[in-house]
Amino acid sequence: MKIATFLFTVSILIVSYSCSTEEYSTARKIYVNEITSTTGFEWYEEIYDAFKSYNKKIVDSISNIFNEIKDNEKFEIIIFANPSCDCGYSYKRFPEFIKILDSAKISEDYYQIYVAGNINYRHPFSNKFKINEIPEFVILKNDNFVYAISDTLKKNNNPPYNQPRTLEDALFAALKYFR
């Protein structure tokens, strides 16, 4: 009986320690060319290549707005991605979003990617915004939070459906803040 109690106590301590350690972990910056060699992103390239259903007209509009504003305002797109694909369909949004950025010819000079295991990970922008879900796509203007694409999509996928409901629609709406 004492051994069972001891093992149970040790198990609880291990679980508590691992949970508390992860809660205070820090998001790690990666670059596009590192994604496929980063452990946990083995699925990335397949989803990126398969994503062809985006609205090309909207992506062209994104490219046009981007070219109008890229030299006028200081803005950044901050991306948080989880290297595991255990988060339902939403994990596909990360490679799809990168494909939209590539298709709109938005270079990595205008966005940063961070690997975060959950929404509690610390990150360099913790004093500006809180991550509400992963993947998360946030727009900063002059170093201030102005738009969370993931939050917009989550909110707008319920009736009424008159707001941005796709990644490209939400990115287009976000970039309008710079006009």
Whether 64 is in a domain gets the answer yes
159 or 73: which leads in pLDDT: 73
Whether 124 is in a domain gets the answer yes
Best CA proximity match to 63, nearest among 174, 172, 173, 178: 172
Whether 114 is in a domain gets the answer yes
Average pLDDT over residues 25-31: 94
How far is it, in rounded angstroms, from Cα 24 to Cα 19? Answer: 9
Q: Which residue has the tokens 């939070």?
A: 145
How high is the pLDDT of residue 162? 52
How high is the pLDDT of residue 7? 40
Whether 98 is in a domain gets the answer yes
Domain count, the chain: 1
> Could you tell me the residue range of the domain that residue 92 belongs to?
25-178
Whether 40 is in a domain gets the answer yes
107: CATH? 3.40.30
Whether 58 is in a domain gets the answer yes
Whether 17 is in a domain gets the answer no
Whether 6 is in a domain gets the answer no
Per-chain mean pLDDT for the chain = 81
Amino acid at 6: F
